[in-house]
Amino acid sequence: MRYSHQRERIFRAVSERCDHPTANMVYEQLKVEMPRLSLGTVYRNLNQLADAGRLKKIPLADGSCRFDKTKESHSHIVCDECGAVSDVHLPSFESFEQAIESETGYELRTYDVVLRGVCKDCRACMDQQAG
């Protein structure tokens, strides 16, 4: 994979933020400083970076994709109200793997565990409105 200025900026953008941005969020951020950048380029490069193992792609159930600077296997929790995506540590999820493989006959490759709920901020908002 040959060097490109755009790709490195896209990589840095994801690496420097903790909110698991979408392609469009990266595009909106970068186009301020790079007015000629196109959304297609962002998508293409994010996927290339994920294929190359420099980023992790997290496809969510709503059809959108998030990109993650953390490459190691870990789980996520999504706020149903504001859409925020946060990391969550699932203790000893790995211990299930053996049992699952023998129960299902599947050879397990990956697991993308996405929990859903309401974040602290949104709970506060909702309580205020209700109260």
What distance separates the 2 farthest-apart alpha carbons in the chain?
A: 57
Tokens of 95: 């211990």
* Interactions with Zn ion, residue window 24-83 (CB under 5 A): 79, 81-82
Residue whose C-alpha is closest to residue 18's, from 66, 80, 90 = 66
Q: What are phi and psi of 35, to 5 degrees?
A: -65, -20
Instruction: Tell me the site size for Mn ion, rule CB under 5 A.
Output: 3
Nearest distance from C-beta of residue 79 to DNA, angstroms:
15
Shorter beta-carbon distance to DNA: residue 37 or 119: 37
Nearest distance from C-beta of residue 78 to DNA, angstroms:
13
Among a second copy, DNA, Zn ion, none, residue 51 binds (CB under 5-8 Å by kind): none
Cα angle value 43/68/12 (rounded, 5°): 70
Nearest distance from C-beta of residue 78 to Mn ion, angstroms:
11
